[in-house]
Structure 1
């Protein structure tokens, strides 16, 4: 998991290793595969095992096409969340919570991860196991490693898959999954499976495609490994005062819950959590749209996926599965189309702001740049780009 795929999410990865410049990529595909075999041998794999494992690998143009086709992430939070969160998905999630109640109880006892979190990822990644992807996983990993956009992410996954193959848990010919190489019901990459795979059903195997208990427990182990704080919350809807300092919103600013309360932040339902916790205020569509307080565990979601809109939707859906009401959508100012967003990003870049790329997507770089230019222009600095802002620039 961790790169935007399949049923919306092949997940972005945090892989230890060399940077992009130092990882070989590109060139003739056959030569690249030969280099992979040589590297496998240097890592200690038997030459014949490495050769057999890579013997049938091929470049998959459909993988590259999928990697460059992620338009759904241009949708703003309200639109995106309403597409992904349906009553049928809520009902199905609650049904699965009951069906695997004992598994979730054990996850909560062992890792302190609330069941709504795993249910949300399970729903968004594969519709509770129904849509796991049919790309050949080895082809996908080698294709993405050969492509020079992110070889440092995908190349280590090839050797993790080879290690899984050695222990009988990966067949290069028949193992399938999402376009970016994730496998199973919660979409885990080979390296994550190798490090965090759990046999939760007691059959002696880690089978993430067919065993929901294995998939859920493995996903929980990975979240814990990524830094999930045992028993703590992750997200809660809030109401903000009209005179709030909008520049202080966003994950770049943290204060204690008690400090936010002194600034007038209130829970829309119930009470805010422990006043000593560090938290951020998140307003995905500006000061007139929904508002949330994001606790430390919210940041762990970004280790699963880098898209702010996806992460916020998954985190919010997790709260809905545990009884939170539908958020107050408010009346946010109209946003920008993809082409308008590109025009805005170009104008911001011309003014010296680092938007992170002219791609039409409201990512972290663009949000930060919008916030700064709003303050420069004397506008409410809520990081929400509007047609009015584009016209002013």
Structure 2
């Protein structure tokens, strides 16, 4: 999981003397220790935590090279969702039925959501990562790309270590998450739970502990029980495409008036929803309800979260989506060139990385409106040529 929670939520004071990113490694460790001591971590625990600390260049390579997210939704989802995974999800739902029943009753988080992320994060606990997570967190906290995220996580890991809940040689993901649903240290501090009743929170070895912890996290973020999160819909060709996008919710009843209809059943007309077209107006279409926005705090990639959200509906009985016949996707290099052109026109697209992220989608749609093209936020060769 990749939640970005406020530092105060985990019971840690905001640092009063955060070091500039990069710089001398020994000085970084000394200042991190000083911050930890200021939050109540005993000096001997901080020393043990930092005793084997080293920078891990392979972590930075992973952080810079997340090329998998350049894939479009259809390509990505077909890569991650197989019939074998659907069948395994059904089998594991039965094996852990009591835990899922408890979660659904007490927290209102449906089993489909947890099964989907359990599958994608670690292949149902089978592939939890083999990075030294302590060194991964310290490396990313020292690095200049996202120190505001990873420095508090490193401090939280030190706090967990002082509580006897974090082994310094623990193995996990390159970004510092551990366990079957991949939780960061601050998440573990706030939401780590004993799901199997043995008195221990074991997120790596106990599926029930991991599932309950993940569910408590979603509930803590405001999951709304008995409400949908994502629903496949059909969309009329006459729709004003500029109304679409995750950042433009309106009441589902308004979407119904505009001709948007569920592929199965009816839409939740009493809820707000955003119309999401991951491959533009000719591809799949989904209504994203308020619960969907919480899932984006699990992972910032819309393609990843949309795939997980869809897989959760599939686990709960939804059909395979209609892929449609979308316009061809741009290559990674073409996307980078498009992002450069958008940036030159004053749009904030974030990093020039060839990934169709949220800010790039907003910029694409704005330029489509300006140029009189169908404003469905899907970058095409026609848009690239026009720019």
Residue 22 of structure 1: CA displacement? 5.8
Q: Distance in 1 between matches of 2:133 and 2:5?
A: 19
Is 1:88 the counterpart of 2:79? The answer is: no
In the alignment, what sits opposite 2:260? 265
In the alignment, what sits opposite 2:49? 53
Residue 166 of structure 1: CA displacement? 2.0
Residue 23 of structure 1: CA displacement? 5.5
Q: Distance in 2 between matches of 1:24 and 1:336?
A: 38
Q: Distance in 2 between matches of 1:388 and 1:278?
A: 32
Is 1:145 the counterpart of 2:141? The answer is: yes
Residue 258 of structure 1: CA displacement? 1.2
In the alignment, what sits opposite 1:121? 117
SS of residue matched to 1:258: helix
Q: Distance in 2 between matches of 1:374 and 1:359?
A: 21
What RMSD, in angstroms, separates the aligned Cα atoms of the two structures? 1.4
In the alignment, what sits opposite 1:294? 288
- Pairs within 5 Å for 1:325-344: 325-344=319-338
In the alignment, what sits opposite 1:8? none
SS of residue matched to 2:321: coil
Please tell me whether the aligned partners of residues 266 and 272 of structure 1 are also in contact (alpha carbons under 8 angstroms).
Answer: yes
Q: Which has the higher mean CA deviation after the structures are superposed, 275-284 or 37-46?
A: 37-46
- Superposition TM-score, scaled by structure 2 size: 0.96
In the alignment, what sits opposite 1:9? none
Is 1:14 the counterpart of 2:10? The answer is: no
Q: Distance in 2 between matches of 1:252 and 1:50?
A: 43
In the alignment, what sits opposite 1:230? 225
In the alignment, what sits opposite 2:11? none
- Pairs within 5 Å for 1:304-343: 304-343=298-337
In the alignment, what sits opposite 2:29? 33
Unaligned runs of 5+ in 1: 3-11
How many residues align structurally?
A: 381
2:184 paired residue among 186, 189, 197: 189
Residue 374 of structure 1: CA displacement? 0.5
In the alignment, what sits opposite 2:215? 220
Q: Distance in 2 between matches of 1:387 and 1:86?
A: 31
- Superposition TM-score, scaled by structure 1 size: 0.94
Please tell me whether the aligned partners of residues 41 and 162 of structure 2 are also in contact (alpha carbons under 8 angstroms).
Answer: no
Please tell me whether the aligned partners of residues 13 and 305 of structure 1 are also in contact (alpha carbons under 8 angstroms).
Answer: no
In the alignment, what sits opposite 2:372? 378
SS of residue matched to 1:303: coil
Is 1:357 the counterpart of 2:348? The answer is: no
